[in-house]
Amino acid sequence: MKTVISTAFARVGELACQQDSFLREITARVVSCEAAAVNRNNSGASGKKSKSSGTQVELPQSYDVILTDSVLFPDGGGQPCDHGVLIRRETNEELPVRVVQRRGDLCVMNLPCMLKVGEDVQLRVDWDRRLDHMQHHSAQHLLTAVVEDPGFCGLPTVSWALTQPYCHIVLPTGKRIEPEMVQRIEEHCNRVIARAVPVRCRVYSSKEEYENDLQREPEKNDDGGRLRGSRPIPPDVAGPIRIIDMEGIDCCTCCGTHVTNLAQLQVLKLLHQETKGDTLKLFFIAGERVRRFFGDMYGRERELMKEMGGIRPEDFVSAAIRKGKDFVELEKRLKHMTQELMKLRSEKLIAEAKQLSENGKGDSASHRPPVVVYRRDDVDADFFSGLRDELRQACPNCVGVFAWAMAPLTAAKTGQFMIVGPTESVEVLAPVVCAALEGKGGMSKFGYRGKGSLCAWEDLVKELTSKG
């Protein structure tokens, strides 16, 4: 049963993290702690099924905790929740916090153990994650406002996603934005960032107060700027209602954490586009992520320069195209040469099989016709399929046992094998080959094919060719 003390607590919309997004830790008191609900199956057992075994895996018990205030933002407005640690003041025990949710106007965090109601705790945010979320959420507001401007695309944002490694906004069009327009949007966004436009938060105590104010001034914000059409407020939210105002650029409802001026975004970079049906995803990154992205990219370029013989990064594309064409041409030549090799080898195998037949060699005890064997590790299964077809056509009563390594041009111990010939003979020989190669496989209309160890291949060859 939930136990609650009469301590007041901050509602979502007026949390410490929402009042000051740069706040990194606070001291708070436990207001409520109760066992978290666990999903149960039809039999009443709690937990989830293991993907590997299909058996029921018992989930550890966790607890939903409400504090007097929170420096960790609960998920909402398209922004994932913050991560952090909760430190118990009495024992200095650190508990990881990975799930923070909004339930109505409550901020509820999930913890692995029970806390005492009235207990004082210290809450610390994962700052790198918080900063990344702040920068990209504010960048999304800026990008959405510019893209929606009739002077640019005039397209509203349907939804957005704050994800790794890239974020994106979703636009209601199945057509890609022209490169020139993408460049204009990016340049304009970065000019606004360079102006250090203030980002202010205005809070209404209730949804009713917000809606009344919106009816009085439906088109203007306090600075005379455009009030962008906000997403519907969830029905379980009665207040507070927060308005994020980028002076003269954008103004809309939002519960997320934001920078205090756009210069803190540092830079916004537009990336690729993806279309699906009548929607378009426009990908972007901002802030610290751009710096890390560039550093990683530069490091990869330096490594590629070494691998590509000193070719400069600006020549990578042309060099890759050239090498791609060379590779296609080499593949054609290799295929032609492999086909010629297969023809030559099939002629030798056919001649060998016919010679064995003329000499009457075979295994009379098992009624097995003469057997020809061949192994080659620098070719693939298609090569041996060609050998099979040639042998069956020229010498239908002969049996062929072929093998090739699964890792060509290496000292591979495992490989594949193929037994071709009359069905009765193949069925007699298959157990012998499988036993020698410690393998297994199956019959088809083309013969027997399996996988096994090639360590004993030479011994198998001696066994098959010595009988007669």
Predicted confidence (pLDDT) per residue in 146-166, tens digit: 999 999 999 999 999 999 999
Residue 94 token pair? 């650190």
pLDDT on residue 380 = 87
pLDDT on residue 5 = 38
Average pLDDT over residues 112-138: 96
pLDDT on residue 1 = 34
The residue behind tokens 């203007």 is 220
pLDDT on residue 58 = 66
Average pLDDT over residues 243-257: 92
Preceding amide of 165 cis, omega within 30: yes
pLDDT on residue 362 = 55
Pair 142, 265: CB distance under 8 Å? yes
Average pLDDT over all residues of the chain: 87
Least confident of 47-56, 58-67, 70-79, 173-182: 47-56
The ranges assigned to domains in the chain are 7-35+61-125, 131-298, 346-360+367-466
Average pLDDT over residues 73-90: 93
Q: Residue 180: is it exposed, middle or buried by C-beta count within 10 angstroms (0-12/13-18/19+)?
A: exposed
Q: Does domain 346-360+367-466 have CATH number 3.10.310.40?
A: yes
Question: pTM to 2 decimals?
Answer: 0.73
pLDDT on residue 171 = 97
pLDDT on residue 45 = 46
Is the pLDDT higher at 234 or at 435? Answer: 435
pLDDT confidence band for 2 (50 / 70 / 90):
very low
Tens digit of each residue's pLDDT (9 = 90 or more) over 274-297: 999 999 999 999 999 999 999 999
Separation between Cα atoms, residue 124 and residue 122, nearest integer Å: 7
pLDDT confidence band for 28 (50 / 70 / 90):
very high
pLDDT reading at 443 higher than 90: yes
Distant-in-sequence, close-in-space partners of 20: CB < 8 Å, separation ≥ 6: none
Q: Quote the Cα angle for 223-229-234, to 5°.
A: 115
pLDDT on residue 409 = 52
pLDDT on residue 214 = 75
Residue type for 205, please?
S
Tens digit of each residue's pLDDT (9 = 90 or more) over 419-432: 999 999 999 999 99
Percent of the chain clearing pLDDT 90 (strictly above): 68
Residue range 131-298, CATH number: 3.30.980.10
Residue 25: strand pairing partners: 124
pLDDT confidence band for 53 (50 / 70 / 90):
low
Pair 157, 170: CB distance under 8 Å? yes
pLDDT reading at 367 higher than 60: no
pLDDT confidence band for 44 (50 / 70 / 90):
very low
Q: Quote the Cα angle for 445-449-455, to 5°.
A: 160
pLDDT on residue 121 = 96
pLDDT confidence band for 212 (50 / 70 / 90):
confident
pLDDT on residue 308 = 86
Tens digit of each residue's pLDDT (9 = 90 or more) over 301-345: 999 999 888 899 999 899 989 999 999 999 999 999 999 999 999
Least Cα distance to 5 among 62, 70, 66 occurs for 66
Pair 238, 207: CB distance under 8 Å? yes
Pair 308, 316: CB distance under 8 Å? yes
The residue behind tokens 């590509």 is 308
Residue range 7-35+61-125, CATH number: 2.40.30.130
Q: Residue 293: is it exposed, middle or buried by C-beta count within 10 angstroms (0-12/13-18/19+)?
A: middle
Average pLDDT over residues 106-121: 95
pLDDT on residue 467 = 58
Find the helix or strand (DSSP H, E) in which 231 lies. none
Preceding amide of 431 cis, omega within 30: no
pLDDT reading at 200 higher than 90: yes
Tens digit of each residue's pLDDT (9 = 90 or more) over 391-441: 989 988 889 999 998 765 555 678 999 999 999 999 999 999 999 999 999
pLDDT reading at 219 higher than 70: no
pLDDT on residue 42 = 42
